[in-house]
Amino acid sequence: MRGTGLILLFFLLISFFHYSRWALPERDELPAVLRLQPQLSTVAIADDRGIYGLYQFSDGSKIDDVIKLTKEIPGQNFLPKGVNDQSIVAGEYIKVSRFAGNYIQVKRSWLSARHRMLLQIPLHPDRMSTLDWEFLPGIGPKLAQAISADRQKNGDFREFAALNRVKGIGPKKLKAWQEYFAKKKDLEENR
């Protein structure tokens, strides 16, 4: 009787394996990262401890609405003046801390270029640190420093094509990096 049960179990396992291969066909290319919806703004929202989650909101969503939707902050809460009217921007890192009772402090910065690239959030040449530049293919510490120094000396790039003013960057490098940066129209909207 025990041998019959083992044979039946073995047969069921083989059948399940065979059926799952038929029902779930193999794919040649699996996505490396989750595809996010491009019409939504992806932001990271962190708490007091720096633990954050990634969220997607409609473009133009206001900071206070985003905080209410993502944080469970009990009672009446007061945001600093001017924060209520500000809209979120894709690629932002928003740290929300509660202090002095019901008051909330909001600190805004940017996700690193590495994170934005993984999340397929277009980069902006004026929102990158020296370390951010090093994540792009073909940029080492020396060229990253030259890009940051040029921006300090000559002002914002304002558009991706203006990077060619930096010594060591030509059309070939710009073409290789183009896929990581926002289009000119999008850069102007998110200034």
Taken in order 26, 116, 84, 99, the sign of the CA dihedral is positive
- Judge if 141 and 169 occupy the same domain: yes
Which residue, among 59, 81, 55, has the nearest Cα to 68 in the 3D structure?
55
Q: How far apart are CA 116 and CA 90, in angstroms?
A: 9
3-state DSSP call for residue 22?
helix
pLDDT, position 141: 94
Kindly state the helix (H) or strand (E) to which residue 103 belongs, with its residue range: strand 103-110
Q: Structure pTM?
A: 0.65
Could you tell me if residue 184 is inside a domain? yes
Mean pLDDT of the chain: 77
- Judge if 82 and 140 occupy the same domain: no
Domain count across the chain:
2
CB-based contact 123:182 (threshold 8 Å): yes
pLDDT, position 162: 92
- Judge if 55 and 92 occupy the same domain: yes
- Judge if 145 and 180 occupy the same domain: yes
pLDDT at residue 132 is higher than 60: yes
Could you tell me if residue 21 is inside a domain? no
Could you tell me if residue 35 is inside a domain? no
**Beta carbons within 10 angstroms of residue 54's beta carbon:** 13
Could you tell me if residue 11 is inside a domain? no
Could you tell me if residue 14 is inside a domain? no
- Judge if 71 and 49 occupy the same domain: yes
- Judge if 55 and 106 occupy the same domain: yes
Could you tell me if residue 168 is inside a domain? yes
pLDDT one-digit tens code per residue, 28-79: 444 444 455 556 888 888 877 777 788 888 878 888 778 777 765 544 566 6
Q: In this predicted model, which residue has the larger pLDDT, 16 or 27?
A: 16
Range of the structural domain that residue 153 is part of: 122-189
CB-based contact 131:188 (threshold 8 Å): no
- Judge if 99 and 126 occupy the same domain: no
